[in-house]
Chains A and B, each alone.
Chain A
């Protein structure tokens, strides 16, 4: 068991090490990386099968690294339920994405470096997932952050890409502060960074570290307060968006919260906070997704919305369901990104859905996978998304929780259907709105194979995974029929509404956007306000207090200038003389002399 797992991990390391040798330079390197990942996937399925059949978890702790006073840090991998199931899923999706990017980045001169970055990202993600102590998890955490920066800014000549990469790093950093706070609390209060020790000892008040972890998840998984980096991260190439920002990196935050579920089970406050945060995120990003015009941004907001749904699931104390949703979501979201990548590439780098249309005839395969991906996303029964999403909505309906958060989640579910319909309507149906000289074909085997794999995964993986995993928390079995059909009902309502609106407004004149449209299109004004206002205010305040306040106001203006100004104003107001000084003096003297002469008669 353990040697197999270590072999799987080690295989991934090989291409990086080979990067200095001759093998890196030739053009077969991407192919080599792809086959490496496929072998790693197959090898990692074996421990997964063993785990499913026997339920045996393992912790591999091999190298004692250092001991800082009483804290022992070692290299330990934790192969429990979560990591054993996540690793094959992640490797499968990454395999498909690698094959896809062999087609997509075909004309890029630095394609070898691209694959190396993707592989390094995958390795750090593996480190994050299999970490048994907080320190190793932090290494993986920072690693995925850095690789995200390098990959978003892949086309570094473009200023928007650099800004987006910087934005990703900054927002992640704010989340990291929370992570470090949690680490510090654990260090001082329980003297351990190992999960086993943390979960066994009984703590009194876990608010502070759990708040820190929630902040870290907010930063990494783009929850409401720290969300703008995710739509901006679409500046990177489509494989990057597919890998990082749909399947693996953005679930790191959710994964962190899932890892700490024994601590979160006891703390009601934290659960309510998580629930409300997830609900706000889901609704807000779904509203923003409704009026975006860039196909990648719509899918990015859809990711954000699903992440909010995962956080809601953690908030209702169902970590296993959230994990299931992570695994199933990876399939169809990566496939959606890859479909949009194929559309973008075929239309000669056109990303605006207002300029696409009528693609279902020239690109049948992409159309099929787009439709199936969208249906799986919205939770069509018996596709992949159904097994996780429907269960989540059912559990939320029947649990003793915050009714407002629940309502918001339901509204967001119907909005999911709405914007998926919008994508399909604008991209696939109708008459073509793009330039007619594009050659559209889907002939490349890499593209077809990768999307085909994920397609089969989107359809069957939900069934396969949910019926093969070891039993965990029992889902709610009995509920009134109207609650059970709620998810389906709101989804169908969303579909029908969006379809009707789109069909009705198809040939109407374009009207000036209303305020609600502007709110939704500009991401709720959040990035516009928050990027400029606080920084400008703090800078002007510091400038004013440093130079104006002390020097100019107090020393210069309060006493001297104010006194002189006051006196001048008062004197001009009060006096009404004409300034004939000599006459005044003469009259004074004559009066004095006269009085002295006239009154001299007392002698």
Chain B
């Protein structure tokens, strides 16, 4: 593979690490989710444009749509947690009451 792809793939791996390993705030994992989405989008667009695979040109746009939906969901969950506890510290989530 060429260097560009490896670079973007590395960015993806970094965001994944950030998603899975965070200390206290739930917001940081959501931010890393956005980073993963961004790197995927870039990789997909670059690959399609370089190989002139115009048939699949809608794929990045659709990816954007779904990413927006999931970001909204994640934010609403964050707001719900924040409504109940006041902050979004992840150690609050051990009680699991609605």
A170-178, A373-381, A575-583: which lies at the interface: A575-583
Beyond A586-B21, A589-B21, whether A581 also contacts B98 by CB under 8 A is no
Give the one of A578, A580, A582, A585 with max B CB within 10 A: A582
Beyond A588-B20, A589-B20, whether A582 also contacts B96 by CB under 8 A is no
A449 and B96 alpha carbons, distance in the complex (Å): 96
B22 touches A579 (CB 8 A): no
Q: How large is the interface on A (under 10, 10 to 19, 20 to 34, 35 or more residues)?
A: 10 to 19
Q: Interface residues of B: mostly helix, strand, loop or mixed? A: helix
The contact string, 1 if C-beta is below 8 Å from chain A, for chain B 1-37, is 0000000000000001101111100100100000000
List chain A residues, Cβ under 8 A from B97.
Answer: 572
Decide yes or no whether B69 CB sits under 8 A from chain A: no
B20 touches A585 (CB 8 A): yes
Task: Choose one: A568, A572, A579, A585; the contact of B94 (CB below 8 Å).
Answer: A579
Q: With CB as the reference atom, state the residue of chain B lying closest to A589.
A: B20
A586 touches B20 (CB 8 A): yes
A582 touches B22 (CB 8 A): yes
Task: Choose one: B16, B21, B94; the contact of A578 (CB below 8 Å).
Answer: B94
Task: Choose one: B21, B23, B96; the contact of A579 (CB below 8 Å).
Answer: B96
Total residues of chain B contacting the partner, CB 8 A: 16
Task: Choose one: A577, A585, A588, A589; the contact of B96 (CB below 8 Å).
Answer: A577
Decide yes or no whether B90 CB sits under 8 A from chain A: yes
How many whole Å from A273's CB to the nearest CB in chain B? 65
Give A382-426 interface residues, CB cut-off 8 Å to B: none
List chain A residues, Cβ under 8 A from B90.
Answer: 581-582
Give B48-98 interface residues, CB cut-off 8 Å to A: 90, 93-98
List chain A residues, Cβ under 8 A from B20.
Answer: 585-586, 588-589
A589 and B14 alpha carbons, distance in the complex (Å): 12
B98 touches A572 (CB 8 A): yes
Q: With CB as the reference atom, state the residue of chain B lying closest to A593.
A: B17
List chain B residues, Cβ under 8 A from A571.
Answer: 98
A571 and B96 alpha carbons, distance in the complex (Å): 10
A473 and B95 alpha carbons, distance in the complex (Å): 97
Beyond A568-B98, A571-B98, whether A581 also contacts B17 by CB under 8 A is no
The contact string, 1 if C-beta is below 8 Å from chain B, for chain A 585-598, is 11011000000000
Q: With CB as the reference atom, state the residue of chain B lying closest to A590.
A: B20
List chain B residues, Cβ under 8 A from A575.
Answer: 96
How many whole Å from A540's CB to the nearest CB in chain B? 35
How many whole Å from B35's CB to the nearest CB in chain A? 15
Please report B residues at the A interface, Cβ cutoff 8 Å. 16-17, 19-23, 26, 29, 90, 93-98
Please report A residues at the B interface, Cβ cutoff 8 Å. 568, 571-572, 575, 577-582, 585-586, 588-589
